[in-house]
């Protein structure tokens, strides 16, 4: 876990007078599961959009998978995966069609697509549902499938934006098993979540308050530093300092 | 006094192929803060829609404040407040216009019931000229709650009010609910967050349309049978795989900082065996301790029990 896959230095985004993200400086290592926490409106989405090459920073520098967030956004997009609760699979396509579609977009060859499809369906045990519309799958399965589709091109980093919202406790844990597996193969996971127990599953966690990174360390060190018994306590303590109203 | 009663209520969709609500019976007392706890697709929203008379049950009967949800739907609609899972206010109206609209529809005015919503509304009042569509998530939630309360309902139905909301706002929201409860309003609320279950007077755990259990949160925890252990080591992912392969393990899953493990012989203490086994597997920094189950442990246990029965 020595090589750095995300490096941000004083990364800032302003909208007029409003500083949505203020001088963010941090790095994320290869194979790390990095938790990116913050209350609604703290600036997480803004930061994530800059790192994904979707929004141009106002100042500061950052590189993602070795590419510059100002000039090489297309390279960034090719080397990352992205999944969120809101944007994931096409409900009107079947499981196989979704896999084929995303694999095609990411430039896999027909032969690779075939192999990957079989492999994914095997991994999820979705044989009976491979030809069914994604709409008919339970939410837990959709999320697992959409995660595996997001990493179908073996990206260096996968961005997960509240990936587990609303699913049952068992499916939530199965989802984390997949994240661990992916991290084991060297894929870095950059995760936001509102479940504080999940922040304990991360190697390191950053907490944003009012556009600033207020804390960044392993869950164990954060708890020690803030004399808290749980990450929930750490989070509540920091997030309550927020002056900025949600908007 | 009973506020809500469901008797063998069933609801099916898609030409009867999908059973969303499966023979559900439960009752909620007046003034109670009652939680429906379960994941997406468990049937929570269907139950709310039946109780608010927006959906007809396929079987069984239900009453709200003594009125039948089919026959007396008009009376019920005047007496309940409902906050649906999806934001359902008028995005093109301002905060104040939305509130005044809902007050007028129910034949009242903002002034008449201002006391009831004051606590909540005061936080968004500075933005009352703003269109609802332009509000942040937390502010929309407060406006929706104000609109659901403005006609002074005797019972509130809140369908997943805290989904997707950050941990701090969630806490604040539950504090608001507690204050409403003190004013005597019955509240039925659903959530996928198991940690919120402990904030309710009583809860129903629900999965795949079926009720797993109805009890007080502490009653549910008490009914967990056998021992539960929390365990950690320096390599948590490997630990999980090794523990799952351990011959005496019944189930093992991640639980925050620790993994939670239960054994096939549920009352036996395997601490020593586990420590020896993990040492042989090369684990360092191992810590194991007996723990009281949380609601989430109970839920997972009930779901697994159901699966093994099937």
As for the ipTM of the complex, it is: 0.78
Contact B240, B231 (CB under 8 A): no
Residue A1 pLDDT level (bands cut at 50, 70, 90):
very low
B139/A173 Cβ within 8 A: no
Using an 8 Å CB-CB cutoff, list chain B residues near A166.
39-40, 160, 163, 192
Inter-chain touch B169–A40, beta carbons under 8 Å: yes
Decide if B39 and A166 are in contact by the 8 Å CB cutoff: yes
Measured between CB atoms, does A85 come within 8 Å of chain B? yes
Q: Is the pLDDT at B126 greater than 60, yes or no?
A: yes
Q: Using the structure block, give the residue that is written with the tokens 């694999």.
A: A103
Flag whether A143 is in a domain.
no
- Per-residue model confidence (pLDDT) at position A84: 85
Q: How many domains does chain A have?
A: 1
List the CATH number of the domain containing A169.
Answer: 3.40.50.300
Q: Is the Cβ of A82 closer than 8 Å to some Cβ of chain B?
A: no
Per CB-CB distance under 8 Å, the chain B contacts of A236 are 167-168, 171
What pairs with residue B26 in β-bridges? B6
pLDDT band for B62, please (50, 70, 90 cuts).
very high
In angstroms, the CA A63 to CA A73 distance is: 10
pLDDT at B141 over 80: yes
**Apex B53 CA angle, B11 and B119, nearest 5:** 120
Q: What is the pLDDT of residue B67?
A: 97
Please check whether residue A122 lies inside any domain of the structure.
no
Domains of chain B with bracketed CATH: 2-215 (3.40.50.300), 229-292 (3.30.70)
Q: Both tokens of residue A26?
A: 């941090």
Taking an 8 Å cut-off on Cβ atoms, the answer to whether B194 and A169 are in contact is yes
| Closest by CA position to B58, among listed B69, B44, B66 | B69
**CA torsion sign, A188 to A196 to B159 to A43?**
negative
- Provide the β-strand partners of residue B21: B11
Chain segment A44-53, per-residue pLDDT in tens: 989 999 999 9
Average pLDDT over every residue of B197-214 = 94
Judge whether A197 lies within some domain. yes
Smallest CA–CA distance, residue B210 to chain A, in Å, is: 14
The answer to whether residue A226 sits within a structural domain is yes
Q: Of the given ranges (A202-211, B22-31, B36-45, B143-152), which has the lowest mean pLDDT?
A: B36-45
Whether A87 shows a pLDDT value over 70: the answer reads no
Instruction: Decide if A116 is inside a domain.
Output: no
The tens digit of pLDDT for each residue in A169-179 reads 888 888 998 99
CA dist., res. A82 & res. A88, Å (int): 9
Q: Which residues of A touch B300 (CB under 8 A)?
A: 169-170
> A201 is in which domain, residue-wise?
4-91+150-239
Asked if the C-beta of A230 comes within 8 angstroms of chain B's C-beta atoms, the answer is yes
What is the tens place of the pLDDT at every residue in B218-250?
Answer: 999 999 989 999 999 998 889 999 999 999 999
Say whether B40 and A39 touch across the interface (CB within 8 A). Answer: no
Average pLDDT over residues B36-42: 87
Domain assignment of residue A169, yes or no:
yes
| Contacts B164 to A, Cβ<8 Å | 85, 162, 165, 194
Is A110 a domain residue? no
Q: What is the pLDDT of residue B306?
A: 81
By C-alpha distance, the chain B residue nearest A84 is B164
Q: What is the DSSP letter of A94?
A: B
With a CB cutoff of 8 Å and minimum separation 6, the contacts of B104 are none
Q: Scanning every residue of chain A, which has its alpha carbon at the shortest distance from the alpha carbon of B207?
A: A168
């Amino acid at each position: 876990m020595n090589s750095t896959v995300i490096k941000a230095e004083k990364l800032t985004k302003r909208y007029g007078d409003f500083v949505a993200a203020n001088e963010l400086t941090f790095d994320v290592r290869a194979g790390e599961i990095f938790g990116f926490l913050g209350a609604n409106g703290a600036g997480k989405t803004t930061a994530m959009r800059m790192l994904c090459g979707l929004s141009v920073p106002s100042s500061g520098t950052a590189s993602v998978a070795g590419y510059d967030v100002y000039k090489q956004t297309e390279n960034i997009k090719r080397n990352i995966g992205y999944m969120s609760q809101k944007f994931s699979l096409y409900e009107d396509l079947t499981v196989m069609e979704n896999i084929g579609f995303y694999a095609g977009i990411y430039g896999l060859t027909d032969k690779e697509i075939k192999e990957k499809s079989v492999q994914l369906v095997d991994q999820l045990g979705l044989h009976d549902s491979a030809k069914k519309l994604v709409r008919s799958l339970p939410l837990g399965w959709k999320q697992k499938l959409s995660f595996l589709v997001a990493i179908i091109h073996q990206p260096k980093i996968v961005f997960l934006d509240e990936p587990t919202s609303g699913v049952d406790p068992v499916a939530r844990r199965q989802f984390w098993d997949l994240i661990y597996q992916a991290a084991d193969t060297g894929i870095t996971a950059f995760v936001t979540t509102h479940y504080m127990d999940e922040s304990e599953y991360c190697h390191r966690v950053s907490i944003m308050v009012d556009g600033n990174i207020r804390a960044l360390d392993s869950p164990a060190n954060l708890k020690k530093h803030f004399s808290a018994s749980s990450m929930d306590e750490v989070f509540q303590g920091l997030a309550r300092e927020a002056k900025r109203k949600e908007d | 006094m009973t506020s809500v009663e469901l008797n063998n209520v069933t609801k099916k969709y898609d030409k009867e192929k999908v059973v969303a609500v499966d023979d559900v019976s439960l009752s909620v007392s007046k003034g109670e803060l009652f939680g429906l706890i379960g994941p997406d697709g468990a049937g929570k929203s269907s139950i709310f829609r039946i109780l608010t008379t927006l959906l007809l049950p396929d079987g069984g009967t239900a009453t709200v404040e003594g009125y039948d949800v089919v026959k007396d739907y008009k009376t019920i609609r005047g007496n309940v407040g409902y906050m649906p899972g999806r934001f359902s206010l008028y995005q093109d109206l301002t905060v104040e216009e939305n509130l005044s609209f809902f007050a007028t529809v129910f034949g009242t005015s903002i002034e008449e019931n201002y006391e009831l919503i004051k606590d909540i509304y005061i936080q968004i009042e500075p933005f009352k000229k703003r269109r609802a569509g332009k509000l942040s998530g937390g502010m929309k939630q407060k406006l929706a709650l104000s609109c659901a309360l403005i006609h002074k309902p005797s019972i509130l139905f809140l369908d997943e009010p805290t989904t997707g909301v950050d941990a701090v706002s969630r806490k604040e929201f539950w504090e608001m609910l507690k204050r409403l409860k003190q004013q005597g309003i019955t509240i039925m609320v659903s959530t996928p967050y198991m940690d919120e279950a402990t904030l309710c007077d009583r809860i129903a755990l629900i999965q795949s349309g079926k009720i797993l259990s109805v009890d007080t949160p502490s009653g549910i925890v008490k009914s967990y049978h056998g021992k539960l252990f929390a365990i950690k080591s320096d390599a948590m992912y490997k630990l999980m795989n090794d523990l799952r392969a351990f011959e005496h393990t019944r189930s093992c899953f991640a639980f925050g900082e620790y993994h939670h493990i239960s054994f096939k012989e549920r009352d036996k203490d395997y601490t020593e065996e586990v420590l020896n086994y993990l040492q042989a597997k090369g684990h360092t920094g191992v810590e194991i301790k007996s723990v009281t189950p949380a609601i989430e442990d109970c839920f997972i246990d009930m779901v697994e029990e159901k699966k093994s029965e099937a």
